[in-house]
Structure 1
Amino acid sequence: MSPFLTFKTFYTNPLNIEYFYIFLFTFLLALSLIAITYISGKIIKADKTHMAAMLLGCVFPNSGNYGAPVALFAFGAMAFDYAVIIMVIHAFLINSIGIFIASFGSEKSTTAREAMQRVIRMPVLYGALLGVLFQLLHFKLPPTIMEGISLVASATIPTVMLILGMQLAEIKPQLFALRYVNSVTVIRMVISPLLAALFVIFMPVSDTLKSVYILLAAMPVAANTTMLAIQFDVKPNLVSFTTFVTTLLSLLTIPLTIYILNMM
């Protein structure tokens, strides 16, 4: 369903300079979180595998299954469109930088070609590219086709919310060294939104986009990182547990974040 959602978003929303700023600052935030997590990992003396698990948890927020629905409910339809755009960028980062991070911490080697093949197989990316292409070419789809696309796209959010619940239901609480769990939790839930709040000061974009950018940066660990951790054997239990902990914590932090954003 996600390719239909991304196609509709990029097809119906006029392209402007905000798209450039979204990509630039999302990429800069990811690089900043990588640097902070690496320094934190060195301080707590994390080995290579634990470092990779921490990076997977700290850098990539759950902007799709969690962030987009919350943005819709909190700030409306325009905010949801912004959230979908950021979600596509995050998906690209997870399937490129995320793969290299997982490969770094694993005994299983991954070549640049294999990483690129995974990026190329992302259906969400094609939905976004087609939406942009059709808009630039002023290609008008018949109303009946758009109604079908909209119908599938509208079903995406309820479905991903169900998937998120199913993923969380499979997570089993386990014992881990607290220094790893605490580091990921603080960086993902506190430092990430604070950095985002700092970045938006320099973003000449709408207040709605600024709020969405900060909100998505405050999201818990992305559920998709667990799949990477399993695939490359990068402490999957630790990654899934930090996903569980940060998601539970978000029941308190996300309403607080929304309250603060509404007060600004």
Structure 2
Amino acid sequence: MSLFLTVLQIVAPVFILAAIGYIWVRTGHEYKVEFVTRLTMTLSVPCLIFTALMKTEVDPAALTAISLAAVVAYGVLTVIAALVLKLTRLPMRSYLAPMIFGNTGNLGLPVAMFAFGEAGLGYAVVVFAIMAIWSFTFGIWVVAGGGSLVRALKEPLLWATLLGGLFLSQGWHTPLFVTHALELVGQIAIPLMLITLGVAVARLRPGEMKLATGLSLLKYLLCVAVAWGTGRAFGLDPVAFAVLVIQISTPVAVTSFLLAEKYGADSDAVAGLVVISTLMSVLAIPLLLALVL
């Protein structure tokens, strides 16, 4: 019973905030997703990443280990997902990115913070940054036949991660008033991302549900297996291991739908994956937490 209550305390705030966004839109209120997304991704999340890394007391060697583990996990997942799609003859442009990239920002960061505190958040932002870099380079290349390292180098979250890692490794800290200001800006990221997740799901119009259900279930199984195996292979400490499994195994990111819509892939199919995998996460995330806690 205590484990159930612990898991409930972790996941309940996540889904309550997402439900607020869902209900907000369903009751006819306006919500500027583009503005909120730009605000969080270019300002609030980078501040969150920088301060989380700067203030973390996690051993830099442990952060290096989870960084390498995340790179390997995403690499292995990319290869396996590509092979599965090739064998099933499903279009790479529409389905490869959703099978690889999870909602490590909107969902993964809050879960890591609520479950494992500041240490967990420090690990989670590293996995999130690696996923984002891979998504903005390889992910765009798959969906649109474009994308480059230059785009990744323009992302504020990349520089926030590098700068935060530098401060962490050198033991540096910004002046207290600057730290407080950055923390205030960063604190708006998680609630806004969760509310926006609910808004995005409320606005999606999914297509074929049968295929989406099968692929969503397959995504969870592949992601958990790859993350679990990679975490064990790198000998990660318990918190880092748990965060890696949770982050890699988050449901399909709403950004996958946005990229499909922008570059002319099958956005309806991706929308179905977003909706079904997010609904599955209501059961999947508590189950994963129960396994790794």
Q: Which residue type is aligned with residue 146 of structure 1? A: T
1:7 maps to: 50
Aligned match of 1:65 in 106, 109, 113? 106
Distance 1:201 1:139, change over 3 A: closer
Of all paired residues, the percent bearing the same amino acid is: 24
Supply the distance in 2 between the matched residues of 1:137 and 1:73 (Cα, whole angstroms).
Answer: 28
- Counterpart of 1:231 in structure 2 is 262
Amino acid at match of 1:226: F
Correspondence for 1:169: 202
Displacement of 1:125 in angstroms is 1.1
Q: Please, which runs of 5 or more residues in structure 1 have no aligned partner?
A: 105-109
TM-fit CA distance, 1:171 = 0.5
Amino acid at match of 2:132: A
Match of 2:239 in 1: 208
- 152, 161, 176: which one pairs with 1:143? 176
Of residues 226, 230, 241, the one that matches 1:199 is 230
* 1:6 and 1:84 in contact (8 A); partners too: yes
1:27-73: CA deviations, max 9, x gaps? 22222222222222222222xxx222211111111111001111122
Contact 1:56 1:239 in 2 (8 A): no
In the alignment, is residue 37 of structure 1 matched against residue 84 of structure 2?
no
CA distance in 2, matches of 1:233, 1:152: 34
- Range with greater deviation from structure 2 (63-72 or 16-25): 16-25
Aligned to 1:107: none
Deviation beyond 3 Å, 4+ runs, structure 1: 133-140
**Alpha-carbon distance, 1:90 to partner:** 1.0
Tell me, which stretches of 5 or more residues in structure 2 are unaligned?
1-43
Q: Does 1:160 align with 2:204?
A: no
Aligned length: 249
The structure-2 alpha-carbon separation of the partners of 1:76 and 1:19, relative to structure 1 and needing over 3 Å to count, comes to: closer
**Equivalent residue runs for 1:42-53 within 5 Å:** 42-46=86-90, 50-53=91-94
Task: Give the secondary structure class of the aligned counterpart of 1:152.
Answer: helix
